[in-house]
A and B are shown apart, each in its own frame.
Chain A
Amino acid sequence: MRVITDKPEVLAPAGTLEKLKVAIDYGADAVYIGGDAYGLRSRAGNFSFDQMREGVAYAQAHQAKVYVAANIVAHEGDTAGAGEFFRTLRDLGISAVIVSDPSLIEIAITEAPGLPVHLSTQASATNYETLNFWQAEGLERVVLAREVGIEEIKEMRRHTDVQIEAFIHGAMCIGYSGRCVLSNHMSMRDANRGGCAQNCRWKYDLFEMPANGEKQSQVENGEAFSMSAVDMAMIEHIPDLVEAGVNSFKIEGRMKSIHYVSTVANVYRQAVDSYCADPEHYVLKREWVDELWKVAQREMSTGFYYGTPTADDELFGKRRKRPQYGFVGEVLDYDAEHKVALVQQRNNFGVGDKIEFYGPNFTHTEQVVERLWDQDNDILYRAPDAMMICKLPVVQPVKAGDMIRKQR
């Protein structure tokens, strides 16, 4: 029986230390984070060096890796201190930096030797010679442009042995990443230095200008022109990605919630392990797909993997109905004798609500909240206060670190 031993890595986003730990608990082999400087997610809750140190310790204890995104396109003067920054990351035990700007790549390689460098998707690598170029520069890995298809990845594999990372899930740029300054020109915010205002998702008017005369709107049926991509989900195509030779499966979303990170990492962990353990008998499980829909923010598609995206891959018209789930809380402890879970509340819930527990290794149980107590065993009907600790009887065993959600 065939078994794939060099499994691709499941790489999850971690906007905060808490999310880093959750992502690893829920199956991520590696996480990527942002530092205080040089990163594109200036609002993602970036890591101080102390937080990185703690994150690295946690990751190492769980055989996981931490990468740091330093993927801005620097303007004059922005790279001051970058060498020191990269050396600090290296000495903290960061496993790689994800960089886009050649000037920062050069600084990382020459001034922080020993720190592996990955090319960011922001550099839009779309062909094998580009991969060869960066490998010759000393890069360990290239994150492909999201415009690359499965067949193209296979072709790349025939021409290069550099590690290939590809996005498998999450929000997407509508354009070639990095090759977009809509935000600079429309909102005076630098898209390539963490300021992207997501102008592509605006509702525009579309006009035609005849040689003479007034401009004529081409907007039809009241539907505004937009350039808004639906999100990516490759859950139904894990075998293709593995067989194409992708080494790392990247999940987008350093700005996303714990609910999202835990759910998505959990699903892809299951799918990758399941496929690699027995490729010939692999079956896509419906519950994986359903699970991803519970944290979906938009409709989902396969991007460029199977051809150029059509109108179906953009957000036009009325939004499709999808299940709306809210994050309710996290299990802190479980009293097996009395079958009672100690829970930290994250969003209002209470008696009568139908809730779902889920945990690492894709455990799930559903139940109705029959009773609820506060820490002093006083009876509650709702748990309305942020982060309050409460207790509830459960029908199936749960464990610390399990999450709770409910359908809205």
Chain B
Amino acid sequence: MINLIATAASQKQAQQLLAAGIDTLYIGEDYFGLRLPHSFERTELAEMVKLTHQAGKKITVAVNALMHNERISQVKDYLQFLADLKVDQVTVGDPGVVYVIQQAKLPLKFVYDSEVLMTSSRQINFWAQHGASGAVLAREVPYGELTTLTPELQIPAEMQVYGATCIHQSGRPLVHNYFNFVQEHQDRADRQRGLFVSAPHKPETHYSIYEDINGTHLFANNDLNLMTKLPELLALGLTDWKLDGLFAGETEFVAIAQQFVQAKQALTNDKWTAELAADLSMQVAAQQPANRGLDTGFYDIDPSEVQ
């Protein structure tokens, strides 16, 4: 019933995640998908599909980029390639891609994921009526809204339960523009470089920032860890849980996934306790990269606190 979804940064890590008990792998190529730990080109991707299916597990491919003309003109070919590989589903975040799937009648299930925009049941149901088999909820939807949102859903909604939260995407190379202005040209502003910004007068804040072919991306101050909230999600009928390893160490992310697999087993076998939750949550924190905090994001925020 519970579907644990995890990103994969390599074939090796994918195999470890599958062995650890992850149900669905989430991968893709940067040209069509957003903010992925690794960009899997077609050959690599085909191998990943094969190994996932051999393990009896599912694979979702990210096709959720904001497409400009140049990409939308190539997306049909890519989607056909994915359909031929029999990937289990794709994520989509641009209505143009939905249009392409509809027009070409591609035999491909899609989950709608426009990230920060996915904030109501009615919107999710709109995409359901346009063929979506699932949707990904925005991280900015607190529990206080989930309680009224989930009973209205016509399709399953996925929740991120671990990892970084993107809070801004720009089409501009914001880091390079800055370096160019101060005439300190630096070649790299990629994710591996580990750049982050701090808000004015809040030196303790840490908003990761990097550039790739989709532009510049900024992330929330802390990564998400909803370990202790899993029973509540389950009670709401939200059972698709995503672990995003974008900023996690490759080995550490597998260890984090193991904690969530344990949680799934405990919840399934009615063995869940507050002590276990606290322990698993601590184990997750222990695997967190240095200098990256964890919290529950918007989950516990009172909806009326947001102006």
Which of B67, B72, B221 touches A185 (beta carbons < 8 Å)?
A: B221
Q: Are B168 and A195 in contact, CB atoms less than 8 angstroms apart?
A: no
Distance of A123 Cα from B117 Cα, bound (Å):
9
Quote the shortest CB–CB distance from B92 to chain A (angstroms). Answer: 11
Which of A152, A182, A192 touches B68 (beta carbons < 8 Å)?
A: A152
Q: Are A174 and B193 in contact, CB atoms less than 8 angstroms apart?
A: no
Quote the shortest CB–CB distance from B248 to chain A (angstroms). Answer: 14
Given the interface contacts A79-B120, A188-B307, A203-B200, does A127 sit within 8 Å of B69 by beta carbon?
Answer: yes
Distance of A175 Cα from B171 Cα, bound (Å):
6
Complex contacts, A310 vs chain B, CB 8 Å: 177, 180
Asked if B173 is at the interface of the complex by the 8 Å CB criterion, the answer is yes
- Selecting from B18-26, B49-57, B95-103, B280-288, the interface stretch reads B95-103
Q: Are A223 and B199 in contact, CB atoms less than 8 angstroms apart?
A: no
Complex contacts, A132 vs chain B, CB 8 Å: 96, 99
How many residues on A have C-beta within 8 angstroms of the other chain's C-beta atoms? 77
Asked if A85 is at the interface of the complex by the 8 Å CB criterion, the answer is no
Q: Are B197 and A204 in contact, CB atoms less than 8 angstroms apart?
A: yes
Which chain A residues in 194-226 approach chain B with CB under 8 Å?
A: 195, 199-200, 202-210, 215, 218, 220-221, 223, 225-226
Residues of B within 8 A of A (CB): 66-69, 71-72, 94-100, 114-117, 119-123, 125-127, 140-141, 145, 148-149, 152, 165, 167-175, 177-184, 186, 193-200, 203, 209, 215-216, 218, 220-221, 291, 298, 301, 303, 305-307
Q: Are A73 and B117 in contact, CB atoms less than 8 angstroms apart?
A: yes
Q: Are A129 and B141 in contact, CB atoms less than 8 angstroms apart?
A: no
Distance of A147 Cα from B307 Cα, bound (Å):
28
Complex contacts, B100 vs chain A, CB 8 Å: 129
Q: Are A205 and B203 in contact, CB atoms less than 8 angstroms apart?
A: yes
Quote the shortest CB–CB distance from A220 to chain B (angstroms). Answer: 4
Q: Are B177 and A220 in contact, CB atoms less than 8 angstroms apart?
A: no
Total A-B Cβ pairs within 8 A: 220
Which of A74, A125, A174, A204 touches B119 (beta carbons < 8 Å)?
A: A74
Quote the shortest CB–CB distance from A219 to chain B (angstroms). Answer: 8
Asked if A299 is at the interface of the complex by the 8 Å CB criterion, the answer is no
Q: Are B170 and A176 in contact, CB atoms less than 8 angstroms apart?
A: yes
- Selecting from A101-109, A372-380, A386-394, the interface stretch reads A101-109
Quote the shortest CB–CB distance from A405 to chain B (angstroms). Answer: 33
- Selecting from A5-13, A311-319, A326-334, the interface stretch reads A311-319
Quote the shortest CB–CB distance from A231 to chain B (angstroms). Answer: 15
Interface pairs (22), CB distance under 8 Å: A73-B119, A77-B148, A101-B117, A101-B120, A147-B68, A176-B171, A179-B169, A180-B167, A181-B167, A186-B199, A204-B198, A204-B200, A207-B197, A210-B194, A215-B196, A215-B291, A218-B186, A220-B179, A221-B183, A308-B173, A309-B177, A316-B178
Quote the shortest CB–CB distance from B96 to chain A (angstroms). Answer: 3
Complex contacts, A106 vs chain B, CB 8 Å: 122, 126
Asked if A50 is at the interface of the complex by the 8 Å CB criterion, the answer is no
Residues of A within 8 A of B (CB): 73-79, 101-103, 105-107, 123-134, 136, 145, 147-148, 152, 155-156, 174-176, 178-182, 184-186, 188-190, 192, 195, 199-200, 202-210, 215, 218, 220-221, 223, 225-227, 229, 304, 308-311, 313-314, 316-317
For A310, give the chain B residue with the smallest CB separation: B177
For the complex, would chain B's binding face be called helix, strand, loop or mixed by DSSP majority? mixed
Given the interface contacts A75-B145, A181-B167, A227-B174, does A207 sit within 8 Å of B198 by beta carbon?
Answer: yes
For A189, give the chain B residue with the smallest CB separation: B307
Given the interface contacts A205-B203, A220-B184, A225-B197, does A74 sit within 8 Å of B177 by beta carbon?
Answer: no
Q: Are B177 and A190 in contact, CB atoms less than 8 angstroms apart?
A: no
Complex contacts, A101 vs chain B, CB 8 Å: 117, 120, 123
Which of A123, A126, A155, A209 touches B196 (beta carbons < 8 Å)?
A: A209
Distance of A78 Cα from B123 Cα, bound (Å):
12
Distance of A220 Cα from B184 Cα, bound (Å):
7
For B71, give the chain A residue with the smallest CB separation: A127
Complex contacts, A199 vs chain B, CB 8 Å: 199
Query: A128-B69, A145-B66, A190-B140 are known contacts; what are 7 more A-B pairs with Cβ within 8 Å?
Result: A127-B72, A132-B99, A155-B69, A179-B115, A199-B199, A313-B177, A314-B174
Complex contacts, A125 vs chain B, CB 8 Å: 95
Q: Are A225 and B69 in contact, CB atoms less than 8 angstroms apart?
A: no
Which of B126, B167, B179, B298 touches A102 (beta carbons < 8 Å)?
A: B126
Q: Are B167 and A185 in contact, CB atoms less than 8 angstroms apart?
A: yes
Complex contacts, A76 vs chain B, CB 8 Å: 119-121, 141, 145, 148-149, 152
Complex contacts, B117 vs chain A, CB 8 Å: 73, 101, 178-179, 192
Q: Are A182 and B72 in contact, CB atoms less than 8 angstroms apart?
A: no
Which of A192, A195, A206, A229 touches B178 (beta carbons < 8 Å)?
A: A206
